[in-house]
Structure 1
Amino acid sequence: MVGYRHRSRGGPDRIGAEGQGGFVYGTTPHAPEAERQDAFADTGVSRALSLAATLIDAAPVGLSKAEIRERVEHYRPEGETSREAFEQQFNRDKRTLRRLGIDITSLGSEDEGRDGHGGDHDFRYVIDPEAHGLPPLRIPADEVIALRHAELLWSGTRAQAAIRQAAGALTALQASEPAGDRAAAAATADPEAAQVPGALPPPASVRLGLADDHVLDHLGTLADSLTTAAVAFTYSPRGRHRAQQRRTVPLGVGSRGGWYLVGHDLDRDAVRVYRLDRIRGDITRLTAPDDSIRTVLEQIADGRIDPPQVTREQLETLGPAHGTETVELEADADVAATFLPHARHDPVSSEASHDEAVRLTVETTLHDSFLGKIAVALPRVRVLSGERLTALVRRHLEAVRRAHRDSPVPAEELRAPRTSTTNDAGAKIARVMSMAAYLHATGGARASDLLERYSITPRQLHRDLLSLQQSAAFDSAQFGHYIDIDPELPLTRRVFEKQLLAEDPVIRIALPGPRLQDTLGRPLRLTAPQALSVLIALEGLIASQDPDTEPVRQAAARLRDRIRAIVPAELDATAAELSVAWQSADEFGHEAVLRKALDGEHAVELLYEDVQNRRTRRVVDPVTLLHDGARTYLRAWCRSVEGERNFLLGRVLDLTPMPDTPLSDQARALATEPARRPEVPRRRDDELVILRFAPSAAADADAWAPVREVWGEDGARTVEVALRSGSIAVDLALRSGGDVTVLQPEELAGEVVRRAERGLAALGDGASSSVEYPGGQTKGRTP
């Protein structure tokens, strides 16, 4: 039943349908204190939805500002609501809806600079129902499968929710058809279409965190400026403690473990590569171009600069290696196992008795991770030959010592980690409108489905549904034609979560009137984060190079082109420049062995060194490979502890397949559960340590699950973390090369300095300033 109500001053006296099962989940004015209303609609969301619904209903004539203020309940001029407050609310809602792809046009000469003084009747606002939402799409069955694969390939952060919501919008047409009609239509179009599986098996590898919230925001901002304008931002280069201002003309973006911007740096008059997660704050577009900007843009326009080619060339240089070198090491027996995986398999040079030093011949990339291992192990490991390695480790340790002598204690008080930005006004409105279209298209969905599809908490689902229920199209008589939700919603969180969610009813929606059913029942255009997320996910699937997924990758390429055809031009331009390639963090070649074990469904035995440098041998059942930026984990069922564990491949010192040992039932059950980002386990007696992550490494702090934190003005991030042992913090600082500083306890900071000085003494005298990383600050390296 759809609710209708005259605008009154008494409050939200909604008419609703009785709840399923013969009772209403609600409260009365005389309810006990514990049952009184504590759940409310989000007024901002309901106001924006009501504005959209009212303007759609008023098409094609539209409404003036005065009529909007008088009609829409949430703008009503009562109490202390002033004209200026209405102007602020209305302009904010208008901008938000336009940003979400809801095209509010003005019939007349709109001038927001007058702050609402005069001109209310000079123009009228209107939303064309025909132009609202996504154009009708009928996606072939194989492309639906590709979309589902892309969704499964990623896990964590806002990106997965954005992909899931985009997938729901793109397949809304299929969802609105009866199941029998969908199967018949698919079978008619493609004989194999009727064989679309209801559930796909979990992928052998999963990407954790396609991009964090800030990187997605940066990608969306760059979509408006790629090759057409200059931008400015505050940047934190590696090895620098102070952020710097940069001005650049964006040429392209791409992923090589992390997300990078390739641009022509205007102040250096050269191409540079920037990591997006090192950009502090917002990226702003430069609106007053100078001669240097015009010169670069002219070179792009006449073909002297080829942005796609320059982007590819620059990103190809971002490999993990600084160079290769053959070095001779001698390691004490207790640390030799750490370096054996790096050594050539020569029994003369890499084996010894338990109490003897071990000589190793190592072919090393001189990557930071290897330098960090040497820094931690000194003086128990000695560099017998390798001048460049010695110089780089010396510089590495000098940076550690300098950071701990110079780094200040944070002036600001540490506080709880900042929350995600996914619930800003635009994101909430987009989610609620997407939910309305999904419920309308499917005829209803269970509450559990909504929780999973939109990656929200029960409390947020409750608030979203209440916001929908308080949204209406208001007519000239000031009657509200309300959206109706069935079953009727309780007004207390306890009843909603303990009773309604426990029953998991089908949530249904009734949109008032044919016009609103046709428009609000149509999915919104993809937002920039949704479009970029799903396009990046498809690019990642295409770039996976797994021969077993060739048909899926071909379908993903067709779907990518189909989506690019319906997104705004600036997003299409960004998508055209997306370059996604996966770099392996598997320095020991374990990934190929583990993929065979996953395909063969058998166990493996591994020798593992944990963060406390303890080595254990254990038999595990591989479940999934998890790629988290530059780190790769094996998600497995560990038979030794009888539980789920995540093993960093860089710490797996030895790996032996066990083809005659099939996977356990526990591992098969674990494979059906979604992958989560590995977290540092906590115990009651863990030691609290305060660490400072330099601006260039601020994003790495997430891996240590901060308890409290504070961000500095320069982009540095100070966090309090709980660790099993203080030695973990000391090793982390030594490995980081000055990017991570131990601030408290002071004795641990002192231990870092002592260890660094012992390491420097073991290396002997020598000047490090003349040795540079190959390509360190030149073309192709992140500045």
Structure 2
Amino acid sequence: MVPQQDRTEKLVSLTYALLTTRVGYTRTQLRTMVDDYQDLSEDAFERKFERDKETLRNLGVTLVDGKGRRDHGSLDSENERRYRILAEDYQLPSLELGAQEAAVLGLASSVVAGGGLGLQAARAAERLGVDARSDQALFSPRIDGGEEHLEPLIRHVSASQPVRFEYRTANGRESTRTVMPWGLGHRHGHWYLAAGDTARDGERLFRLDRITSSIARAAPKASDHIPDAYGRPDRFSMAAALDRLERSSPTRTARLLAQGVSGGTLAARAVSRTDGADGVELAVEYADEADLAREIAAEGVRVLAPASLAAAVLSVLDDAVAGVSAPAPRYKLSRHAGGRASAEQTVSRALDLVAFVVQRGGASIDEVMERFGLDRDELEAELTRLRFCGVPNGQHDELLDVEWDQETVSITNAQVLSQPMNLSLVEATTVLMGLDALASAPAGALSADSARAVEQLSARLRGLRPELADFDRIIAVRAAARESGPLVGELAQAIDERHPVRLDYAGRHARSQRVVEPVRLMDVGGRSYLQAWCRLRQGPRTFRLDRMVSAETLSEVFGVDDARVRAVRGAPFEPDAAAPEAEVLWGGAWADAAHAHHPERTGKSAEGMVSTIRVRDHDHLVRLAALSGGAVRVLGPEAVRDGVLAALEQRRQAASLDVEAIQTVGQTVGQTVGQTAAAKTETTTEAGKN
């Protein structure tokens, strides 16, 4: 029996062979040439060949027949059909970028970060020849690309293929949904799928973090059939679907007391603030009592009215205390890793490595290791594999000629692979998502030249692949800064013109007034931030826009201090390796939030996912436990858990006193009203007698 062939070697060799042939290869020829196809039954060969073609299509490699007709993946019984790859389809067209366009495209390539999509965006930037960095930009949005369902849904949405998945609603009900996907969008820190839903007879939006199963293509059978009426409407717009996701208009007003705390987001959006002997009284408008109760519990604010809100806050804190107090389940943690690289990733890297070396006529070992993130052993393994690549079972002059020593590496007989490969559908989509996020920024966040470059680049990238023609209708990404109104534009102008800003800021622990020298605006995790040099603390600081009670641009113009700017831009946004570590259980829907905290180790328990995360202080863990109503539980270390529990107990005790105080006031008012009514009745009776 022929030994199983390395799949990366097989797919690189297939790509090389199909690029070098002028007339193409038939299925029969490929089955004879490729070791991995030999000794297979007809059905097994068909399945493996179709799987390999699908992998190449996912990489952006288009197969055509001998007459140049595209292969779309349908099974073909004509064994004499010939397959080849056209150089013009394989190679990335030159975009001839100017300096401004290259900077904007590099920034756009950095927007989608983390997870599989983040890797795809980084690969796209490397092929496009741009620097995927955001540290020099005035406005830098960042959107999580770690959502596991994104990549398959991009392909299904593009191909209008019906899908099936398990879905959990906001109230916890789970069901199987079979839908026709129309579009994907990001807003308020969440990814959404718009689809024609047969179960609900119309358009529905699904939050991707509430999909509890893998995404499966719906089988062509009666139970999964999607009528044509549920296909994407001609006038469908994902941007319009996102625009309908407006937050509910407030219908009630709560009276709150920030006592010994800043009030955080509540203080920032209060419609009025009144200083008193016991603290700052806040008037906060709201629509959803449950959401406000969780926010109040997280911020540690007291409730003065209404009574129902005070009771809701107490209930949230009861659940949080019960959750953290509960015995820890059994679990075992292991080092968190991105998982084994897929064939698409390894084939893409191998082809990119060949192009990188061939274009330069050879490269240094150190240069190749740095470019592809490989150590020396990994690079030598990669080069050894490439030595076996070429026309399958071909002659010596039909194989790649790969040579290396301690200093340099060279690859010859690979001219057909010397140009960068065209972007795949997913790679191009990640960059277009970044451009869309930039385009959605409020006025002033981008310069006029950058805004024009965004529009022009979007049009040019959509022309790279035919599947991208409808991108502007089916994909939409909204920057979080869009929700901050004119504040973002005002801060962007202050950055551009180097004006200090006086902030009234409700921080995690206290409210303060300070003057800062603004450097950069960022969007991360559905929130907007200002990074600045703080004159009060004499160091770099990061400020959440939704905690800014006020921001006043001063007339002063500050001089550029390169050391300060470098310190601000280089300040770690996430907790570093020296930050305290905690073991946290993520129950229910909160399991989806775990990856946003960059877990170092993960494990499973009967009650949910467990991970280790690093936090700047214990207050963040208190907030998580309160916001989740106990679904997020701190398991250890013991001292950290005890500290979080003590803080929650203190907040619960205060919430209990608030409920009692409101009830007492109500009873007093009721007694006063009753006594007044009785007195009026008595007076009326006496008057009647007279």
2:530 aligned with 1:634: yes
CA contact (8 A) 1:157 1:212 kept: yes
Structure 2 distance, partners of 1:508, 1:682, is 36
CA contact (8 A) 1:540 1:580 kept: yes
Amino acid at match of 1:730: V
Could you list the per-position Cα deviations for residues 726-765 of structure 1 after superposition, in whole angstroms to 9, with x for gaps in the alignment? Answer: 5542332112345423445575686547744752563359
Q: Which residue of 1 aligns with 2:628?
A: 736
Structure 2 distance, partners of 1:572, 1:113, is 22
Deviation at 1:601, TM superposition (A): 2.6
Report matched runs for 1:341-420 at 5 Å: 341-344=268-271, 350-352=274-276, 355-364=277-286, 371-376=293-298, 381-384=302-305, 386=306, 389-390=309-310, 393=313, 396-397=316-317, 400=320, 409-419=328-338
SS of aligned partner of 1:97: helix
2:518 aligned with 1:622: yes
Q: Which residue of 1 aligns with 2:688?
A: none
Deviation at 1:155, TM superposition (A): 5.1
Select which of 543, 548, 559 maps to 2:457.
559
CA contact (8 A) 1:46 1:467 kept: no
Structure 2 distance, partners of 1:306, 1:318, is 21
Residues 198 and 130 of structure 1: is their aligned pair in 2 closer, same or farther, counting only changes over 3 Å? closer
Could you list the per-position Cα deviations for residues 154-179 of structure 1 after superposition, in whole angstroms to 9, with x for gaps in the alignment? Answer: 5555545433433454579xxxxxxx
2:542 aligned with 1:646: yes
Could you list the per-position Cα deviations for residues 108-160 of structure 1 after superposition, in whole angstroms to 9, with x for gaps in the alignment? Answer: 9x9x999xxxx9x9547632444640474454647555434423555555545
Deviation at 1:92, TM superposition (A): 5.3
Structure 2 distance, partners of 1:337, 1:200, is 28
2:167 aligned with 1:235: yes
Amino acid at match of 1:624: R
Structure 2 distance, partners of 1:623, 1:457, is 34
- Alignment coverage as a number of residue pairs: 645
SS of aligned partner of 2:447: helix
Structure 2 distance, partners of 1:290, 1:146, is 48
Deviation at 1:530, TM superposition (A): 0.3
2:634 aligned with 1:707: no
Q: Which residue of 1 aligns with 2:685?
A: none
CA contact (8 A) 2:462 2:471 kept: no
TM-score (norm 2): 0.76
CA RMSD of aligned residues (A): 4.8
Report matched runs for 1:17-96 at 5 Å: 43-62=6-25, 93-96=52-55
CA contact (8 A) 1:706 1:721 kept: yes
SS of aligned partner of 1:706: coil
Could you list the per-position Cα deviations for residues 40-65 of structure 1 after superposition, in whole angstroms to 9, with x for gaps in the alignment? Answer: xx954333212322343344252666
Deviation at 1:211, TM superposition (A): 2.4
CA contact (8 A) 1:603 1:662 kept: no
Structure 2 distance, partners of 1:47, 1:590, is 55
Amino acid at match of 1:350: T
Q: Which residue of 2 aligns with 1:694?
A: 588
Q: Which residue of 2 aligns with 1:252?
A: 183
Structure 1 distance, partners of 2:180, 2:661, is 44
SS of aligned partner of 2:90: coil
Deviation at 1:533, TM superposition (A): 0.6
Structure 1 distance, partners of 2:193, 2:264, is 39
Deviation at 1:273, TM superposition (A): 1.3
Residues 160 and 463 of structure 1: is their aligned pair in 2 closer, same or farther, counting only changes over 3 Å? farther
Structure 1 distance, partners of 2:591, 2:491, is 31
Residues 236 and 322 of structure 1: is their aligned pair in 2 closer, same or farther, counting only changes over 3 Å? farther
Residues 159 and 664 of structure 1: is their aligned pair in 2 closer, same or farther, counting only changes over 3 Å? farther
Could you list the per-position Cα deviations for residues 9-52 of structure 1 after superposition, in whole angstroms to 9, with x for gaps in the alignment? Answer: 9xxxxxxxxxxxxxxxxxxxxxxxxxxxxxxxx95433321232
Moved more, 424-433 or 598-607: 598-607
Structure 2 distance, partners of 1:67, 1:270, is 46
Structure with bigger RCO (C-alpha 8 Å, 6+ apart): 1
Deviation at 1:285, TM superposition (A): 1.6
Moved more, 428-437 or 55-64: 55-64
Could you list the per-position Cα deviations for residues 558-580 of structure 1 after superposition, in whole angstroms to 9, with x for gaps in the alignment? Answer: 332333233143x4345532223
TM-score (norm 1): 0.68
Amino acid at match of 2:13: S
Q: Which residue of 2 aligns with 1:780?
A: none
Q: Which residue of 1 aligns with 2:421?
A: 524
2:219 aligned with 1:327: no
Structure 1 distance, partners of 2:429, 2:265, is 41
2:209 aligned with 1:277: yes
CA contact (8 A) 1:344 1:350 kept: no
Residues 683 and 235 of structure 1: is their aligned pair in 2 closer, same or farther, counting only changes over 3 Å? same
SS of aligned partner of 2:338: coil
2:58 aligned with 1:99: yes
Report matched runs for 1:764-775 at 5 Å: none
Report matched runs for 1:674-693 at 5 Å: 678-681=573-576, 683=578, 686=580, 688-693=582-587
Q: Which residue of 1 aligns with 2:84?
A: 127
CA contact (8 A) 1:542 1:557 kept: yes
2:496 aligned with 1:538: no
Select which of 113, 121, 129 maps to 1:163.
121
Select which of 322, 344, 357 maps to 1:426.
344
Amino acid at match of 2:257: E
2:389 aligned with 1:472: yes
CA contact (8 A) 1:637 1:666 kept: no
SS of aligned partner of 1:282: coil
Structure 1 distance, partners of 2:292, 2:449, is 39
Q: Which residue of 1 aligns with 2:157?
A: 223
Q: Which residue of 2 aligns with 1:763?
A: 659
Deviation at 1:639, TM superposition (A): 6.0
2:84 aligned with 1:150: no
Amino acid at match of 2:457: L
Amino acid at match of 1:329: L
Residues 137 and 683 of structure 1: is their aligned pair in 2 closer, same or farther, counting only changes over 3 Å? closer
Structure 1 distance, partners of 2:187, 2:81, is 49
Structure 1 distance, partners of 2:540, 2:56, is 44
Select which of 243, 266, 269 maps to 1:316.
243
Structure 1 distance, partners of 2:83, 2:296, is 67
SS of aligned partner of 2:599: coil
Amino acid at match of 1:478: Q
Deviation at 1:631, TM superposition (A): 2.0
Structure 2 distance, partners of 1:368, 1:463, is 58
SS of aligned partner of 1:624: strand
Deviation at 1:583, TM superposition (A): 3.4
Residues 100 and 452 of structure 1: is their aligned pair in 2 closer, same or farther, counting only changes over 3 Å? same
Structure 2 distance, partners of 1:484, 1:57, is 15
Structure 1 distance, partners of 2:217, 2:385, is 36
Deviation at 1:720, TM superposition (A): 2.9
Structure 1 distance, partners of 2:270, 2:132, is 48
Amino acid at match of 2:420: P
Structure 2 distance, partners of 1:439, 1:340, is 57
Amino acid at match of 2:140: V
Residues 607 and 699 of structure 1: is their aligned pair in 2 closer, same or farther, counting only changes over 3 Å? farther
The share of aligned pairs that are identical, in percent, is 22
